């Protein structure tokens, strides 16, 4: 396919000398080599060392392992500290999925109202929501609020916090998309006897499918990879999340790099799968958010 493409290009540019073509290939190879060296070697390094014995991994080299210890390394990592990683994967999944469900419903509802209505009050409310894109969350006061609601160190607590801090970005995405849905649809539905709630949930919400996908993917990566908020609002060994296990294992495994890297590899797999399936959507969502934000 590439070759055919190249041929048509050649036909258009008959004056392209073979020398120029050669230098083009050379430049291109250099670019690819640099990309591999800078962006991919670190991942290869993690992977190959997670397959080694701890003595070999201690050399911190890119060399091929003389002996593969894959199954043993990964079972050790899973079983460490009373299956902490299993608990962590469960907790992270629960937090990620629940926050996303809340975000999809609540952020889209709010975005619909803020996009459709106008007036000073509405624009002030919208500004307060969007300010959340900039403002760093106030750490100790948030813990104080969570404690008074008896939600500190609980799954519902961290889920609600993750939802709160992710609302602004999700709302921007929803508002941008809802702006493209004609208001005639609303009017037709009202004539058919809908009120605000039935209009939104019966008519608008299903139309949001494409942007739901973007919201799900971007938030999944964000929330699954988050370290800071679970560190503050969901502390304690029994409350592990995947990013925290990594951090805890850093001290425990300071002599067994193979195990630490196995852990790194394991928690990188979920975002990697998302990347493989949805890379186009992720890029589109991130640029859309950026340009509007």
Rounded to a whole number of angstroms, the minimum distance from the CB of residue 209 to another protein is 19
Q: Give 3-state DSSP helix, strand, coil % of the chain, rounded to 5.
A: 80, 0, 20
C-alpha 218/C-alpha 226 separation (Å) is 12
Select the residue interacting with another protein from 90, 181, 190, 203 (CB under 8 A). Answer: 190
Stretch that binds another protein, among 71-79, 82-90, 208-216, 221-229 (CB under 8 A): 221-229
Residues 245/89, Cβ–Cβ less than 8 Å = no
**Residue 191, helix vs strand vs coil:** helix
Residues in 233-252 at the binding interface with another protein, rule: CB under 8 A: 242-243, 246-247, 250
- Owner of token pair 């503050």: 232
Stretch that binds another protein, among 14-22, 38-46, 63-71, 79-87 (CB under 8 A): 38-46
The candidate with the shortest Cα–Cα distance to 217, out of 158, 147, 275, is 275
Residues in 141-180 at the binding interface with another protein, rule: CB under 8 A: 141-147, 149, 160-161, 163-165, 167-168, 171
Select the residue interacting with another protein from 48, 216, 223, 264 (CB under 8 A). Answer: 264
Rounded to a whole number of angstroms, the minimum distance from the CB of residue 68 to another protein is 20
Rounded to a whole number of angstroms, the minimum distance from the CB of residue 112 to another protein is 6
Select the residue interacting with another protein from 53, 78, 155, 232 (CB under 8 A). Answer: 232
The candidate with the shortest Cα–Cα distance to 241, out of 89, 51, 21, is 89
Residues 227/243, Cβ–Cβ less than 8 Å = yes
Number of chain residues interacting with another protein (CB under 8 A) = 95
The alpha carbon torsion through 47, 52, 54, 59 (nearest 10 deg) reads: -80
Residues 155/230, Cβ–Cβ less than 8 Å = no
Stretch that binds another protein, among 14-22, 66-74, 79-87, 132-140 (CB under 8 A): 132-140
- Kindly state the helix (H) or strand (E) to which residue 153 belongs, with its residue range: none
CB atoms closer than 10 angstroms to residue 234:
23
The candidate with the shortest Cα–Cα distance to 241, out of 93, 59, 19, is 93
* Residue placing its CB nearer to another protein in the complex, 70 or 128: 128
Does 188 help bind another protein (rule: CB under 8 A)?
Answer: no
Select the residue interacting with another protein from 22, 30, 32, 179 (CB under 8 A). Answer: 32
Residues in 11-30 at the binding interface with another protein, rule: CB under 8 A: 28
Residues in 43-102 at the binding interface with another protein, rule: CB under 8 A: 43, 45-46, 59-62, 102
């Amino acid at each position: 396919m590439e070759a055919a493409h190249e041929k048509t290009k050649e036909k258009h540019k008959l004056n392209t000398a073979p020398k120029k073509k050669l230098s083009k290939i050379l430049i291109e190879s250099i670019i690819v080599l640099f990309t591999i060296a800078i962006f991919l070697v670190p991942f290869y390094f993690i992977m190959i060392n997670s397959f080694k014995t701890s003595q070999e991994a201690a050399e911190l080299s890119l060399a091929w392992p003389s002996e593969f210890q894959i199954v043993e390394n990964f079972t050790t990592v899973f079983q460490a500290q009373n299956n902490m990683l299993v608990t962590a994967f469960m907790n992270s999944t629960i937090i990620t999925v629940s926050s996303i469900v809340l975000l999809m419903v609540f952020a889209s509802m709010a975005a619909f109202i803020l996009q459709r209505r106008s007036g000073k009050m509405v624009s002030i409310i919208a500004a307060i929501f969007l300010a959340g894109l900039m403002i760093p969350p106030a750490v100790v006061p948030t813990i104080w609020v969570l404690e008074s609601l008896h939600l500190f160190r609980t799954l519902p607590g961290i889920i609600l916090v993750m939802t709160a801090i992710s609302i602004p970005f999700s709302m921007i995405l929803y508002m941008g998309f809802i702006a493209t849905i004609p208001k005639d649809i609303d009017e037709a539905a009202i004539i058919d006897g809908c009120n605000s709630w039935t209009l939104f949930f019966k008519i608008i919400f299903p139309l949001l499918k494409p942007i739901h996908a973007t919201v799900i993917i971007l938030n999944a990566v964000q929330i699954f990879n988050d370290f800071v908020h679970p560190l503050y609002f969901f502390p304690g060994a029994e409350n592990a999340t995947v990013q925290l296990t990594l951090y805890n294992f850093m001290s425990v495994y300071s002599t067994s790099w193979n195990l630490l890297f196995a852990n790194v590899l394991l928690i990188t797999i979920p975002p990697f799968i998302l990347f493989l399936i949805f890379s186009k959507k992720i890029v589109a969502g991130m640029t859309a958010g950026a340009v509007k934000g």
